[in-house]
Amino acid sequence: MDNRDLPAPPIDELLEYAIHIDSAHPLPGTAFTTLIESQRGEGKHVRWLGYAESQEKWVEISPWRNQAFHHAVAAVQLADRQGAVTANVLEQLCDDLQTFAAQYHGRVECDAVDAAAARAARLDRFCVDVDVLIGLNIVAPNERMFAGALIEQAANDAGMQLDGTGVYQRRNERGDILYSLCNHDDVPFIAGQMAYLTTSGVTLLFEVPRIENGVAVFADMARLALQLADRLDGQLVDDTGRILTGPGLEKIQGQLVQIYQQMEAGHVPPGGRRAQRLFN
């Protein structure tokens, strides 16, 4: 099948750079193993897609399956929290794929890597601008300490669950994390040991770009922060130690609205698939 007759591969043009491989000889899925593992080992996010002619659709290449493809695509994610993909990285991958395809008398099509690297840099700058972590701290005044048992009860009453990392999580009905409650001191919360724990404070954390309906979620977290401060007889402060009251929380919420407007304008809806990939 001529590649001009194929349906377009499911590439995200905003997030990815696509390298196309076409071969008259079948490309065995198992042959991609080294390529896939090497990119994963280098921390790159690459989706490997092949056109399954029997199914008439693009599928993810799984080296352990008995598959073969005349047409394949390596879709390289241009940016993530580690930064932007560089032109050198893209050139190296293109060279590696040229060597790979030559074994099967195939050809590789790589668009201009400099233009792709420029796209990656722009995407990275966008990510840096909106990748905000909001922390609301409840601290014990006058060198007092909070009792772990009281924290545990308050977290349970708020519908939070303790995970294996020692952090309480508030999740939605799909199981997505909305916000977290962690120890202000460098000690994890541990199930069955909260009665023996004391701490100088707790922190509620909210990952701005990863949350759908984030303004409402932040309002819910802010309400919980005020409740915790009252219940623990503590002070609600920001990351600089300044006491937070209603107007201060409203100011943070206003900044949050601006960030979400920027994300929508950049075609990366907060909490959506693109945001989950960029801010993973």
pLDDT digits (tens, 9 = 90+) for 205-242: 999 999 999 999 999 999 999 999 999 999 999 888 88
Q: Residue 171 contacts by C-beta under 8 Å, 6 or more apart in sequence?
A: 161, 177, 178
What is the CATH number assigned to the segment(s) 131-278?
Answer: 3.30.1400.10
- Main-chain phi, psi angles of 5, to 5 degrees: -90, -5
Angle at which helices 33-41 and 87-102 cross, to 10°: 160
pLDDT per residue as tens digits for the range 61-86:
988 888 899 999 999 999 999 999 99
Strand-strand pairing, 161-162 and 168-171: antiparallel
Say what the pLDDT of residue 42 is.
Answer: 74
Pick 3-128's CATH classification: 3.30.70, 3.30.1560, 3.40.50, 3.30.1400: 3.30.1400
Burial group, residue 181, by CB count within 10 angstroms (0-12, 13-18, 19+): buried
Per-residue confidence band for 4, with pLDDT thresholds at 50, 70 and 90? low
The mean of the pLDDT values for the chain is 93
User: Residue 41 — very low, low, confident or very high, per pLDDT cuts 50/70/90?
Assistant: low
Q: Do domains 3-128 and 131-278 have the same CATH topology?
A: yes
CA angle 133, 76, 276 (to 5 degrees): 30
At 32, the amino acid letter reads F
Q: In this structure, what token pair is assigned to residue 106?
A: 């195939």
Nearby residues of 267 by Cβ (< 8 Å), 6 or more positions away = 14, 274
| Helices within the chain (DSSP H only) | 33-41, 87-102, 113-130, 148-157, 214-232, 246-265, 273-278
Contact, 97 vs 46, CB < 8 A?
Answer: no
For residue 183, the SS3 value is strand
Cα distances (Å, whole numbers) of residue 191 to 167, 183, 195:
10, 13, 9
* Band of residue 38 on the pLDDT scale cut at 50, 70, 90: confident
Q: How far apart are CA 47 and CA 277, in angstroms?
A: 12
DSSP assignment letter at 29: G
> Domain extents for the chain?
3-128, 131-278
